């Protein structure tokens, strides 16, 4: 009885209970506030991205389409540019672009089956008789639509001169139109989504209207593939060893365990330094693909030397596999003809996946170890970009011999491990502790009774692990892997250190390719001065998020399939 008096009764009891409920309610509402804050942050992030990825743009044409229409004799009031004939379009091209450009377009694909527009017959026949005939010799002639596109691209030359955010575009679209058009009567204002199908399928470009994320998407996928192929088996294997075989009593194992836990918290840039030191430098011969590609690289070097000799009269001397000198040809100081420069640049671009950085600053020069060739980027009808030397490509003999030496050395490509495989392995190291820790947890969560049941039937430890522990731990292991993969896709810093390129106009096509990845592409675009780059950066962020979500969704589906079994 005396004990009972120590507890509140009656009024006091209900007061006490009410107080306990109040405390619970306060906690509950503070959790709700936390949730709301989190949602607000997320919403504002999405808003910010969407706001920039869509909106009004002001475009201006070099030549007003109406003027072009009236030049053909048609009435611009009733006929629009896209309703004309192929002959009209070809005439427009003849009137408005240089013969050099026209000839190049014709070599790519001719305008008419039966006659030449820009080239003369003799040169054309020569080009077609060459060992590697021009593409146009083999292709059928361009159709009307194709020529119309050329007119839009080369003659009308539409340029974006101003962009607006989605919010402004929606709220005060009319105002913007009125104000801007008053000042720029030649401009047109239209609504544009920067995220288009073309944006996904086009490679990187120095012009924001033409730039796409294809190379970056491929880069990210390749890197993540290598990362997973490395870290999933290694991580799960290590986790199984630590959980199932290693004695918890053993001091060495405990030190290893503590280290793994701490490694998960090491800043990613440190892994970048590690990757640079190991994969790029020490294992450069492996990670550049040189070891696996030896023969073809030797051949490449030889053909390059021959081409230098026959085209430029430059002799390259090789001793013990190294270029010792390049002897200049007959012209002491020559102007590079456009053809010669093109040849050189083509050699360059085939090599560039290994060894050259194409300077991203408006891609107007190729930089090879201090040497610069002025170039411009041109897009052909298929949307592929090609580097074209500027007409004023002048190069001194000294520079040229230096360049050819560089190129011959580049063909060897011994020392450049800044490739997909180095990046993938670096990220693999980065997420390895995450995968190990999660897999360990999943393995530990398999109840002892399962192991007892299995061992009690006379199963060996490995049979128990393979048949019971792993299948039951798999959903947990995959959850950890999903987390780790998301981290890997978003990583930027270590890849900058390991040497992701900032400008890659070619799809990575294997573990030994140079590459760029989505986050680096985004970072690079946001740091460009032109406003349109920020728009496409926002579009790229949306692409990255979608990529991330779809990879995760795949992994979750996979996991659920196993979990249901």
Contacting residues toward another protein, per CB under 8 A: 247-249, 447-460, 463, 467-468, 472, 565
Tell me the closest approach of the beta carbon of residue 447 to another protein, in angstroms. 8
Alpha-carbon gap, residue 269 to 491, rounded angstroms: 10
> Which one, of 371, 375, 359, lies nearest residue 398 by Cα?
371
Q: Are 397 and 333 in contact (CB under 8 A)?
A: yes
Q: Which two tokens stand for residue 377?
A: 């980027």
Tell me the closest approach of the beta carbon of residue 468 to another protein, in angstroms. 7
Q: Which of 136/475 has CB closer to another protein?
A: 475
Q: What is the DSSP string of 467-481?
A: IIIHHHHHHHHHHHH
Tell me the closest approach of the beta carbon of residue 26 to another protein, in angstroms. 41
**What is the SS3 string spanning 235-256?**
HHHHHHHHHHHCCCCCHHHHHH
> Which one, of 117, 143, 214, lies nearest residue 547 by Cα?
214
Alpha-carbon distance values, 19 to 13, 15, 204 (Å): 10, 6, 63
Q: Which of 99/463 has CB closer to another protein?
A: 463
Q: 55: which strand partners?
A: 192
Tell me the closest approach of the beta carbon of residue 440 to another protein, in angstroms. 16
H-only helix segments in 54-208: 65-71, 86-96, 99-108, 121-129, 135-138, 144-150, 166-171, 173-183, 197-201
Q: Which of 425/470 has CB closer to another protein?
A: 470
- Which 8-state DSSP code applies to residue 394? B
Q: Is 31 helix (H, G, I), strand (E, B) or coil?
A: helix
Q: Which of 97/450 has CB closer to another protein?
A: 450
Q: Are 77 and 134 in contact (CB under 8 A)?
A: no
Tell me the closest approach of the beta carbon of residue 458 to another protein, in angstroms. 3
Q: Which of 39/453 has CB closer to another protein?
A: 453
Q: Which of 101/455 has CB closer to another protein?
A: 455
Q: Which of 453/553 has CB closer to another protein?
A: 453
Give the rounded distance of the alpha carbon of 497 from its chain centre: 16
Q: Which of 451/487 has CB closer to another protein?
A: 451
Q: Which of 421/446 has CB closer to another protein?
A: 446
Alpha-carbon gap, residue 239 to 435, rounded angstroms: 8
Tell me the closest approach of the beta carbon of residue 471 to another protein, in angstroms. 8
> Which one, of 559, 469, 452, lies nearest residue 242 by Cα?
469
- Which 8-state DSSP code applies to residue 363? T
Q: Which of 255/317 has CB closer to another protein?
A: 255
Query: What's the burial of 269, exposed, middle or buried (CB within 10 Å: 0-12/13-18/19+)?
Result: middle
Tell me the closest approach of the beta carbon of residue 258 to another protein, in angstroms. 19
Tell me the closest approach of the beta carbon of residue 427 to another protein, in angstroms. 34
Tell me the closest approach of the beta carbon of residue 441 to another protein, in angstroms. 19
Tell me the closest approach of the beta carbon of residue 443 to another protein, in angstroms. 15
Rg value, the chain, Cα:
32
Cβ-proximal residues to 490 (8 Å cutoff; 6+ apart), any chain: 519, 544, 548
Alpha-carbon gap, residue 390 to 374, rounded angstroms: 6
Alpha-carbon gap, residue 61 to 290, rounded angstroms: 48
Tell me the closest approach of the beta carbon of residue 456 to another protein, in angstroms. 4
Give the rounded distance of the alpha carbon of 222 from its chain centre: 10
Alpha-carbon gap, residue 63 to 96, rounded angstroms: 10
Q: Which of 405/468 has CB closer to another protein?
A: 468
Q: Which two tokens stand for residue 285?
A: 């011969």
Tell me the closest approach of the beta carbon of residue 463 to another protein, in angstroms. 5
Tell me the closest approach of the beta carbon of residue 477 to another protein, in angstroms. 16
Residue 505, Cβ neighbours under 10 Å: how many?
20
* Ramachandran category for residue 74: left, alpha or beta (phi over 0 → left; psi -120 to 50 → alpha): beta
Q: Which of 313/456 has CB closer to another protein?
A: 456
Q: Which of 446/540 has CB closer to another protein?
A: 446
């Amino acid at each position: 009885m005396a004990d009972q008096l120590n507890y509140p009764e009656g009024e006091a009891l209900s007061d006490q209970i009410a107080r306990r409920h109040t405390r619970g309610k306060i906690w509950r509402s503070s959790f709700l506030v936390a949730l709301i804050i989190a949602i607000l942050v997320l919403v504002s992030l999405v808003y910010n991205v969407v706001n920039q990825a869509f909106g009004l743009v002001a475009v201006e044409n070099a030549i007003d389409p109406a003027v072009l229409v009236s030049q053909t004799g048609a009435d611009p009031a009733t006929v629009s540019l896209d309703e004309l004939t192929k002959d009209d379009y070809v005439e427009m091209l003849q009137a408005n672009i240089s013969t050099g450009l026209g000839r190049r377009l014709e070599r790519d694909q001719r305008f008419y089956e039966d006659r030449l527009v820009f080239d003369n017959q003799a040169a054309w026949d020569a080009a077609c008789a060459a060992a590697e005939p021009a593409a146009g010799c083999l292709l059928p002639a361009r159709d009307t639509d194709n020529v119309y596109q050329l007119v839009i691209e080369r003659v009308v030359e539409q340029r974006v001169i101003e962009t607006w955010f989605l919010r402004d575009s929606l709220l005060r679209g009319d105002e913007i139109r009125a104000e801007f058009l008053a000042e720029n009567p030649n401009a047109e204002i239209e609504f544009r989504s920067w995220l288009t199908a073309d944006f996904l399928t086009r490679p990187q470009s120095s012009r924001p209207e033409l730039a796409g994320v294809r190379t970056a998407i491929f880069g990210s996928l390749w890197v993540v593939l290598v990362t997973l192929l490395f870290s999933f088996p290694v991580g799960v294997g290590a986790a199984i060893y630590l959980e199932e075989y290693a004695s918890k009593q053993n001091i060495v194992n405990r030190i290893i365990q503590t280290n793994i836990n701490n490694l998960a918290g090491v800043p990613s840039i440190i892994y970048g330094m590690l990757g640079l030191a190991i994969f790029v430098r020490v294992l450069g011969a492996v990670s550049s693909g040189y070891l696996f590609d030896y023969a073809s690289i030797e051949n490449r070097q030889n053909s390059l030397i021959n081409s230098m000799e026959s085209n430029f009269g430059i002799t390259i001397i090789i001793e013990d596999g190294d270029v010792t000198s390049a002897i200049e040809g007959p012209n002491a100081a020559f102007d590079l003809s456009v053809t010669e420069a093109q040849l050189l640049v083509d050699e360059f671009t085939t090599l560039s996946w290994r060894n050259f950085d194409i300077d991203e600053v408006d891609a107007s020069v190729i930089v090879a170890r201090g040497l610069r060739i002025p170039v411009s980027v041109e897009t052909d009808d298929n949307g592929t970009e090609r580097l074209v030397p500027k007409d004023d490509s002048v190069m001194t003999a000294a520079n040229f011999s230096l360049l050819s030496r560089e190129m011959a050395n580049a063909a060897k490509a011994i020392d450049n491990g800044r490739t997909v495989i180095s990046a993938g392995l670096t990220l693999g190291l980065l997420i390895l502790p995450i995968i190990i820790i999660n897999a360990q947890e999943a393995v530990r969560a398999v109840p002892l009774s399962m192991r007892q049941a299995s061992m009690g039937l006379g199963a060996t430890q490995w049979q128990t692990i393979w048949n019971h522990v792993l299948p039951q731990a798999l959903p947990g292991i995959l959850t950890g892997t999903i987390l780790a993969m998301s981290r890997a896709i978003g990583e930027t810093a270590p890849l900058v250190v390991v040497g992701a390129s900032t400008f890659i106009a070619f799809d990575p096509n294997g573990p030994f390719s140079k590459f760029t990845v989505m986050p680096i592409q985004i970072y690079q675009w946001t740091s460009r001065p032109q406003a349109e780059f920020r728009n496409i950066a926002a579009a790229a962020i949306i692409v990255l998020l979608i990529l991330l979500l779809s990879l995760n969704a795949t992994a979750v589906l996979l996991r659920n399939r196993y979990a249901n079994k």
